[in-house]
Copies of this chain bind each other. A is one copy, B any other.
Amino acid sequence: MKTTSAALEDLSTGMSCSIGSARLNASEIVEFARAYDPQPMHTDAVEAIDTPVGGLIASGWHTVATMMRMLVDSRVFGINPILGAGVTDLRWPVPVRPGDELIGSAEIIDIRESKKPDRGVVTLLVTLSNQLGQPVLSLKPSMVVPRRVVSDSP
């Protein structure tokens, strides 16, 4: 999955790879949440203590955005851009807290034809787990991946 030339023909169901790791500190969690998810459990470490989650946790969308950064940085499809076609089965089983180490993996679970002959649609199962091995995020994103360009010359 991680070569510079990865095209649809290079991929098959069951292939998997690491997408690296990341950490979110408290100030990053608060900064993201103030912009996009301003709720006390994400924006204020003191107020968060009195919420059902018992302390500051990252917005679920911050965790997802961090996953996307890991996916882009790991170049799972080589030089091809990651063009999202959709996502199913997104779950946040356990909250992400400041300093948690998020360890990511991706596995190809489906490859299907596109209506356009020069590409296909690849579905991944992407999982982030914390330093205790607990899954904190899982989702099945589908992405458009081009076929290798076939030259007309011999």
Contact = CB atoms under 8 A, between A and B. Distances in A.
A65 B81 CA distance: 21
For chain A, the bracket of interface size reads 20 to 34
B86 A92 contact: yes
B39 A82 contact: yes
A40 interface: yes
Interface string A75-95: 000000111111111111000
A64 interface: yes
12 contacts: A32-B65, A37-B65, A37-B69, A38-B69, A38-B72, A39-B72, A51-B81, A60-B84, A84-B92, A85-B91, A86-B92, A88-B88
Interface of A: 32, 35-41, 51-52, 59-61, 64-66, 68-69, 72-73, 81-92, 139
